[in-house]
Amino acid sequence: MTNPPVLLRLDAVEAGYGSLRILKGISFEVCAGEIVTLIGSNGAGKTTVLNAICGVVPPRRGTVTMDGHDITRLQPHEIASRGVVHVPEGRKLFPDMTVAENLEMGAHLRRDRAGIRADMEKMYNLFPILGERRHAPAGALSGGEQQMCAIARGLMARPRIMMFDEPSLGLAPKLVEQIFGIIRAINDEGTTVLLVEQNAHMALQLAHRGYVIATGEITLSGSGSELLGNEMVKRLYLGEA
Amino acid sequence: MATERGRQSGWNTALWWGGGFALFALVITLNRDFETFLRYLVLGLPQGAIIALIAVGYSMVYGIIQLINFAHGEVFMFSTFFVLMLLVPPEGGQTMAPALIGATVFLIVACTVWVLAERIPARWMRGAVAVAAGAAAAAANARLMPATGAGAAILPFFAAYALAIVYTCCLGVTMDLLAYRPLRHSPRLIALITAIGLSLFLQNFAQLIWGSSSRYFPASVRPAILGSQQVTLTPALSLSRLDLVIVVLALALMAGLQLFVMKTRTGRAMRACAQDRVTASLMGVEVNRVVAVAFALGAGLAAMVAPLYVLRGTPIHPQMGYMVGILAFSSAVLGGIGNITGAMLGGMVIGIVSAFVPLFDALDRFAWFEAAVRAGWITREGYAEFVQGFGKPGQYQLAVAYAFMILVIVFKPTGLLGKASAKRA
Ligand SMILES: Nc1ncnc2c1ncn2[C@@H]1O[C@H](COP(=O)(O)OP(=O)(O)OP(=O)(O)O)[C@@H](O)[C@H]1O
Ligand SMILES: [Mg+2]
């Protein structure tokens, strides 16, 4: 079996805040069509990795390549225009805009009005609650509804790779399962996924491959099932003896 | 729900204040006649419309980058000088004027083209295009300005007006590019001090070019439609053509701005940036461009009303933007800084409130004044002395306007339509 082409590659990426050096040379890759998960404890640097990819925290050293093109020094809006879409930690909706306007913001870079309209209807079918509340300000949604809105907003961009930062945070188990189901469905439709999760168990079950990050470095990598069976992962991230 | 309720309470407060004020004005005027009330209201409308459109410039920029652009008043001032320079030859002593004006036009056009030409990837090529555009604009401008001593204007009034609006938009964009953009990630205080410095710089620069004396548009260039002939609305109620134009134009501009912000793609991006700039950039919004649009729009709106403001009888001089600017800024705060509708409302309220102040010189003509005299509470002599002693209280329009503003802010610190900055969860 031939490997699918690498879509996103990080090569010895270093990044941080001010004088703080958080990422100490991160390298990994995400192939087209894969679900790759990044797990690690609080403060390990997972969010920082995603922010380095999308240009919010520009890398100091190393390179980020998307589809063979160097995107390390690009601005966030330029990176977004290459199909890298980030569903950020804490949803980050535009609270005073309606649900519909949030979705339109997701499609900001697209110019095909008819396509946007059709995709919005698609989102309302995928997440009926968003359809019901399309004219409500996003700030008035519940946490779970906000997460759905954030995912739908990301999908509106028709991403090539979609990065999720802790989509299950603060949600009831039932809702978490629903969100994971949606992520799988998104992937089945051909979108590559990079998933950051605290819920390592579910993430590793879902993902094709995973990386473990600790204090700004990749310490372990392997297929989802390999990592699920790994002693260290079991001890540190799955809470098993 | 929190947001819906917040928005509603904003409107409620605005209605309360508006209603309360209308009642107050009615009570003191109805004793005489309703038409007096309308007359003062009509006096306040053009003033308020002008302040409102300037106030929008403060609020729009503040909403996106949380910067109080103190130089906005100077942008207003420059726009009147732009019109003046296209219509009137420089005065005798201003030998430097043509060169400095040329340099200014070059700089603002070059910077604006630089910002617009982002599609050109190579920096040197983008720079070359910008420099070429700036040079062409400066050369063209030199031919459009009337020469010293020669006299007659080359452009008709409305062409000069339109060109000045374009220049002013460019000035707004340039200001952002050169002064504020480099400080986007610095502490807010640094940008604020820069804004104050820029305001002083622009005042002095205008003085260097055009001198410090007060100027007026010569009567010869004033178009008839902007004349001071009265337009009769009802037998007792009339206003000048100019004021009518101001009110109609301002209403159209406010409606247009509201449509732009609520309905267009750029307007939506602007609102997104105002709520969360980083997330907006993740959606592919180029934040710097949106900020540039806000500066250009704010400057353009100020430039639309500036010549009309001057035609109402205010002299043109380098400090003219200062007073107007503070008043407009305060109106933006009154309406809720960062809220565009609020800025419009605040400006209108301030304009109308100050228009009613001259009534205080004429209290003795009210029916209830007579009653109070008969009851022995006041005497006509005492009131006359009071009016004289205060040098006519009706002149204290600004003082009353600010007092009103402070009163509102005390009871609603976020302004009429503002709401407490919500935590971004
Ligand atoms: N804006 C910031 N300024 C300074 N330090 C930061 C900032 N954001 C994160 N850090 C620091 O960087 C380190 C990594 O943070 P990061 O948010 O990437 O962790 P994380 O793996 O996403 O954690 P969590 O699971 O809690 O979300 C932490 O030590 C954190 O304190
Ligand atoms: Mg995180």
> Is the confidence at residue B32, as pLDDT, over 70?
no
| Top-confidence residue, B34 or B229 | B229
Distance CA A56, CA B167 (A): 34
Give the mean model confidence (pLDDT) for residues B31-36. Answer: 63
ipTM over 0.90 threshold:
yes
Quick one: pLDDT band at residue A66, thresholds 50, 70, 90? very high
* Ligand 1 contact via A19 beta carbon (within 6 Å): no
B281 vs A contacts (CB less than 8 Å): 55-56, 75-77, 80
Distance CA A186, CA A167 (A): 14
* Ligand 1 contact via A44 beta carbon (within 6 Å): yes
Q: Over the stretch B265-284, which tens digit does the pLDDT of each residue have? A: 999 999 999 999 999 999 99
What is the whole-number distance in angstroms between the Cα of residue A84 and the centre of ligand 1?
21
Structural domain spans, chain A: 1-83+160-241, 96-158
Distance CA B194, CA B329 (A): 17
Give the mean model confidence (pLDDT) for residues B305-311. Answer: 94
Closest ligand 1 atom to Cα of A51 = 18
What is the whole-number distance in angstroms between the Cα of residue A43 and the centre of ligand 1?
5
What residues does A28 pair with on adjacent strands?
A10
Which contacts (CB < 8 Å, 24+ apart) does range A218-224 have? A218/A26, A218/A27, A218/A28, A221/A28, A224/A37
Which of A37, A38, A39, A48 best tests ligand 1's pocket when mutated (most atoms within 8 Å of CB)?
A: A48
Residue type, B182: P
Distance CA B7, CA B2 (A): 9
**Inter-chain residue contact B276 with A109, CB threshold 8 Å:** no
Question: What is the homologous superfamily of the domain A1-83+160-241 according to CATH?
Answer: P-loop containing nucleotide triphosphate hydrolases (3.40.50.300)
> Is the confidence at residue B425, as pLDDT, over 60?
no
Distance CA B77, CA B320 (A): 6
Query: Of the ligands numbered here, which is closest to the C-alpha atom of A45?
Result: 1
Q: Over the stretch B200-218, which tens digit does the pLDDT of each residue have? A: 999 999 999 998 889 998 8
> Is the confidence at residue B140, as pLDDT, over 50?
yes
| Top-confidence residue, B7 or B1 | B7
CATH class of the domain at B2-88+153-228+237-411: mainly alpha
**Inter-chain residue contact A95 with B287, CB threshold 8 Å:** no
Residue A209 phi, psi (nearest 5): -135, 160
Quick one: pLDDT band at residue A241, thresholds 50, 70, 90? low
What is the average pLDDT score of chain A? 91
Which of A13, A14, A20, A212 best tests ligand 1's pocket when mutated (most atoms within 8 Å of CB)?
A: A20
* DSSP annotation string for B34-69: HHHHHHHHHHHHHHHHHHHHHHHHHHHHHHHH----
* DSSP annotation string for A84-116: EEEE-TT----TTSBHHHHHHHHTTT---HHHH
Q: A225 CA to chain B: closest CA distance, Å?
A: 32
Chain B residue with minimum CA distance to A78: B284
Give the mean model confidence (pLDDT) for residues B94-104. Answer: 87
